[in-house]
């Protein structure tokens, strides 16, 4: 599922991995899993901090748990 620019701009902060930066949208399970993978890549490349990575993972894990992912 692709997120349109309009849908992304209307997405609540609670659905964004890094709300202040408007990055890592997670409206559903597949986006949450993808956000974790992309955030790990960015952490390894030095583009985000460990704290930012932890925030993204915590939000993604909450979505994945709520949707029944293991």
Domain membership flag for residue 8 = no
For residue 26, give its domain range. 17-66
Q: What is the pLDDT of residue 70?
A: 53
Domain membership flag for residue 7 = no
Domain membership flag for residue 53 = yes
Provide the number of structural domains found in the chain: 1
Q: For residue 59, is pLDDT > 80?
A: yes
Domain membership flag for residue 9 = no
Domain membership flag for residue 56 = yes
pTM of the model: 0.82
Q: What is the pLDDT of residue 35?
A: 96
Say how far apart CA 38 and CA 66 lie, in whole Å.
21
Domain membership flag for residue 21 = yes
Q: For residue 55, is pLDDT > 90?
A: yes
Domain membership flag for residue 6 = no
Q: What is the pLDDT of residue 69?
A: 55
DSSP 4-27: PHHHHHTS-GGGEEEGGGTEEE-S
pLDDT, tens digit (0-9, with 9 covering 90-100), for 29-42:
999 999 999 999 99
């Amino acid at each position: 599922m692709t997120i349109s620019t309009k849908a992304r701009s209307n997405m609540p902060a609670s659905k964004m991995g890094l709300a202040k930066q408007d990055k890592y949208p997670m409206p559903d399970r597949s986006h949450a899993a993808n956000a974790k993978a992309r955030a790990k890549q960015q952490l390894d490349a030095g583009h985000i901090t460990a704290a930012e990575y932890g925030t993204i993972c915590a939000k993604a894990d909450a979505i994945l748990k709520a949707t029944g992912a293991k």
